[in-house]
Amino acid sequence: MNANQVAERSRILEGLVTFVTRSFMVEASDIDMDKSLIDQGIIDSFGLMEITTFIENTFGAKIQEQDMTREAFGSMNKMATFVYRRKCGEI
Amino acid sequence: MTETAPSARQPGVTRQRCARCVLSAPFPNIKFDVEGVCNFCRDEVGARSDDTAIDRGRARVMELFAARKARGATYDAVLCNSGGKDSSYTLKLAVEKYGLTVLSFTLDNGFVAPAARDNIHRIVDALGVDHITVRPALDVFKSVVRAASMLPIYGEQSLTRISAGCNACISLVNTTALRLALEKEIPFILAGFTLGQIPANGIVYRNHYRFLAESREASMSRLRDAVGLEVDRLYGVPDSVIDRAPTYPYNINLLCLESITETQILAEVGKLGWKRPSGLDGCSSNCMLNTFNNYVHERRHGYSPYELELSHLVRKDLMTRSEALEKLADQPLEQLPYLVKSLALSPEDLATLGLSADGQVAG
Ligand SMILES: [Zn+2]
């Protein structure tokens, strides 16, 4: 990734962190960015649906049924990368 | 900012509460400013993004309904009908405002107030809707409620809006509704949740069962350990049902798209024959078990599972703060002995919950 791409991905991650902290009553420092939010007890399955709706609405990244995997949603970092790659047409 | 009215569940206990809404000091991540107003009330950015999410939800719902095919012999939607005022009003909206052909479905958990059952029948009759009731094996259901109440089955974060007992029941409602929708090829699942009970980004979503089931596996595994493999029969959807269905249905919460007060809802459903059942707590209009679930939640977490929902209504001017406080305080604790006996709680469980051997609030 070049500097612009890194900045764009960070912007996405920041948006996700703001949404998660506000919606699920946690501090950013409580979140392990490389672990599943469900495994960390931050969200439940309903929370996962909220995040997908938020991603579609905020970043305009369409989420298909086959995208609903641990690979794409298994951590904050994975989600940010997924959204970034979907937005720039990499996937 | 200190609430001086005694808590119904903890007589004599006073607690710090937001001066504007009804959130109290034990609520996760709450902070009060010098005026005694909480950070959730001060979160204007959050409120604005909620409004945007509601507008998007509304547009999506209209798009989905407009694209629905003429169903002919089958239903447009299955509606989870608790018999409470909100699901009754949602059924009215679905039929009269949106013109949907609805199958009404009630999960009878053994604690539906008899008057709520009468309300269900009056409303479906008045609206000309088919209705079915599903009653799970109550010994298993009660074991699940016991486990959810006494053990850390669900993550703390999923219990900010709902008690563990209610969560166990609503998960069962959702799974049963999904199974019905898949079996009968019904494209929409409707429920009477309001904003506050669910977040603005949960108004409409595709029910990707397999993905969601994977994310629920940790709590299911704890439930299996506590109750037994029967929980899979209640909370699972067989692969054959999923594979046969053409697509997953959408869950839609129509009531979140309305700006309506409780008084207006009561007037509307009253015209269809709905009457408020007596003897239930201030936050429920259908389920007797709610009193027990509220008691347990307050005991375990220190705040009511209804604080978030009521605070939302107060902020939106759909309820006054004193009305909300009255609801929180209105808990018929005299029903606890009957409820804990029905749930067959052990003497150890009762002691943990601060209840005497016959289920009275100790002290
Ligand atoms: Zn507040």
Residue A22's pLDDT band, with cuts at 50, 70 and 90, is confident
Q: Which two tokens stand for residue B275?
A: 């009457």
| Cβ contact B218:A38 at 8 Å | yes
Kindly determine whether residue A44 and residue B155, on different chains, have CB atoms separated by under 8 Å: yes
How confident is the model at residue B13, as a pLDDT?
56
Give distance in angstroms: CA of B359 to centre of ligand 1.
34
Of the candidates B233, B223, B80, the residue with the CA atom closest to the CA atom of residue B164 = B223
Of the candidates B64, B66, B90, B68, the residue with the CA atom closest to the CA atom of residue B79 = B90
Decide if domain A3-88 falls under CATH 3.20.170.30. no
How confident is the model at residue B182, as a pLDDT?
95
Residues 6+ apart with CB under 8 A from B122: B272, B273, B274
Domains in chain B with CATH codes:
56-257 (3.40.50)
Per-residue pLDDT tens digits of chain B, which is 363 residues long: 444 444 444 444 568 999 999 999 999 989 999 999 999 999 887 888 888 889 999 999 999 999 887 666 689 999 999 999 999 999 999 999 999 999 999 999 999 999 999 999 999 999 999 999 999 999 999 999 999 999 999 988 789 989 999 999 999 999 999 999 999 999 999 999 998 888 888 899 989 888 888 888 889 999 999 999 999 999 999 999 999 988 899 999 999 999 999 999 999 999 999 999 998 999 998 999 999 999 999 999 999 999 999 999 999 999 999 999 999 999 999 999 999 999 999 999 999 999 999 999 986
With an 8 Å Cβ cutoff, the interface of chain B facing chain A consists of 27-29, 43, 45-46, 49, 52-53, 56, 154-158, 160, 198-199, 201-202, 204-206, 208, 210-216, 218-219, 248
Residues 6+ apart with CB under 8 A from B97: none
What global pTM score does this model have?
Answer: 0.91
| Cβ contact A77:A9 at 8 Å | no
Distance of alpha carbon B240 from its chain centroid, rounded?
29
Q: What's the ipTM?
A: 0.82
Cross-chain CB nearest to A41 (options B157, B202, B205): B157
**Domains of chain A, residue spans:** 3-88
Kindly determine whether residue B158 and residue A65, on different chains, have CB atoms separated by under 8 Å: no
Distance from CA of B211 to the nearest CA of A (A): 6
pLDDT over threshold 60, residue A19: yes
How confident is the model at residue B1, as a pLDDT?
44
Cross-chain CB nearest to B208 (options A43, A53, A68): A68
Instruction: For chain B, state the CA radius of gyration.
Output: 20
How confident is the model at residue B246, as a pLDDT?
84
Chain A hits for B45, CB-CB cut-off 8 Å, are 22
Kindly determine whether residue B205 and residue A49, on different chains, have CB atoms separated by under 8 Å: yes
| Cβ contact B109:B142 at 8 Å | no
Which residues 4-63 of A are in CB contact (within 8 Å) with B? 22-27, 38-39, 41-54, 57
Q: What whole-number percentage of chain A has pLDDT above 70?
A: 100
* Total beta-carbon pairs less than 8 A apart between chain A and chain B: 79
Kindly determine whether residue A25 and residue B157, on different chains, have CB atoms separated by under 8 Å: yes
Give distance in angstroms: CA of B200 to centre of ligand 1.
18
